[in-house]
């Protein structure tokens, strides 16, 4: 029986067998702080396991089942802010923060017109809207349920992004003369399902993740081609990409007539971002 906060963390973390010890302890700390709303130092004196709120115990059961903590808490961090998430949206990822950071760093001008395709929680356009100088920002998605979450994030974070429904594979977005087109589209080939963690497969929406094995660059082809019409001359295209497809995407964008096509490595040294100029 754990007698103090630290022992409780270790005791619960040991039950999260699908995670490393460090990850498991971080998750348990995250859950405890969420429910108990206390700083860790205040919790050291406290706590018998049976005194913990029932809601916390129920959430811990969900964590044990492999459910990502962001879905359990209904929110997750992205670029310094908290975003609502649910089963209809992908959980925002660190690589995507790097994409957002690159766009902010490379585009200091005020008043840029920006479109994000496949917006999910709206984490990309809302962060750009709040970090850049007076931009005009749009986000589109095929999923009504994801758009509901994106709009809720826009309201709670006081951002002015306009969210619109659009199936990019069959429709042309009604937003032209763009300075920046950005997308983190679905890009995982179906055949990679077997290599993926259960907590992604069982909980995150397939619509946000997967593409057919026979056409893994489907979204890049369509968005790259439509981008030629959506972007102003000189406007910029930014993609998050699958680390295996950097050279194919470079070739694709060059073939479509984009200039300055580059593939950029993320902090882990993987080719995860492509950018180009119209
Ligand atoms: C990889 S997720 C990215 C979500 C978010 N931008 C992020 O970075 O966390 C891809 C998104 O594309 C959307 N999507 C899938 N097919 C689409 C389509 N045909 N047209 C528009 N959006 C689509 C999914 O609903 C999902 O929200």
Locate the domains of the chain by residue range. 5-65, 88-277
Nearest CA to ligand 1 atom 8: 184
Ligand 1 lined by 184 (C-beta under 6 Å): yes
Inform me whether the pLDDT recorded for 37 exceeds 80: no
Mean pLDDT of 84-105: 97
- 43 C-alpha to ligand 1 centroid (Å): 40
CATH 3.40.50.150 given to domain 88-277: yes
pLDDT, residue 246, reads: 97
pLDDT digits (tens, 9 = 90+) for 181-213: 999 999 999 999 888 888 888 999 999 999 999
pLDDT, residue 7, reads: 87
Helices 218-230, 246-255: axis angle to 10 degrees equals: 40
- 120 C-alpha to ligand 1 centroid (Å): 5
Nearest CA to ligand 1 atom 6: 119
180 and 238 in contact (C-beta within 8 Å)?
yes
Mean pLDDT over each residue of the chain, to the nearest integer: 94
Ligand 1 lined by 185 (C-beta under 6 Å): yes
Inform me whether the pLDDT recorded for 43 exceeds 80: no
Inform me whether the pLDDT recorded for 41 exceeds 60: no
Ligand 1 lined by 124 (C-beta under 6 Å): yes
pTM for the whole thing? 0.93
Inform me whether the pLDDT recorded for 40 exceeds 80: no
pLDDT digits (tens, 9 = 90+) for 221-269: 999 999 999 999 999 999 999 999 999 999 999 999 999 999 999 988 9
Contacts from 24-33 at CB under 8 Å and sequence distance 24+? 27/63, 27/69, 28/60, 28/63, 30/69, 30/73, 31/56, 31/59, 31/60, 31/63, 31/69, 31/72, 31/73, 32/5, 32/8, 32/56
Nearest CA to ligand 1 atom 12: 118
Nearest CA to ligand 1 atom 19: 167
pLDDT digits (tens, 9 = 90+) for 48-85: 677 788 899 999 999 999 999 999 999 999 999 999 99
- 212 C-alpha to ligand 1 centroid (Å): 15
Nearest CA to ligand 1 atom 26: 208
- 35 C-alpha to ligand 1 centroid (Å): 31
User: Tokens representing 135?
Assistant: 């931009």
């Amino acid at each position: 029986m754990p007698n103090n906060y630290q022992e409780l963390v270790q005791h619960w973390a040991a039950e999260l067998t699908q995670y490393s010890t460090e990850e498991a302890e971080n998750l348990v700390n995250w859950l405890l702080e969420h429910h108990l709303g206390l700083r860790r130092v205040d919790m050291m004196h406290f706590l018998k396991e049976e005194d913990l709120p029932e809601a916390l115990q129920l959430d811990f059961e969900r964590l044990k089942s492999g459910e990502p903590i962001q879905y359990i808490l209904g929110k997750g961090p992205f670029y310094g802010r908290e975003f609502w998430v649910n089963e209809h949206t992908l959980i925002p990822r660190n690589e995507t923060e790097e994409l957002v950071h690159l766009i902010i760093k490379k585009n200091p001008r005020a008043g840029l017109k920006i479109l994000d395709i496949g917006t999910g929680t709206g984490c990309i356009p809302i962060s750009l809207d709040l970090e850049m100088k007076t931009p005009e920002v749009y986000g589109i998605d095929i999923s009504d349920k994801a758009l509901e979450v994106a709009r809720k994030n826009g309201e709670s974070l006081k951002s002015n992004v306009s969210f619109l429904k659009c199936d990019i594979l069959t429709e042309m977005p009604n937003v032209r003369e763009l300075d920046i087109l950005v997308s983190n589209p679905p890009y995982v080939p179906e055949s990679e399902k077997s290599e993926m963690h259960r907590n992604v497969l069982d909980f995150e929406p397939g619509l946000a993740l997967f593409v057919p094995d026979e056409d893994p660059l489907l979204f890049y082809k369509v968005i790259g081609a439509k981008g030629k019409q959506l972007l102003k001359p000189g406007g910029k295209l930014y993609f998050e990409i699958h680390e295996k497809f950097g050279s194919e995407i470079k070739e694709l964008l060059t073939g479509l007539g984009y200039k300055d096509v580059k593939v950029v490595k993320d902090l882990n040294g993987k080719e995860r971002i492509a950018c180009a100029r119209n």
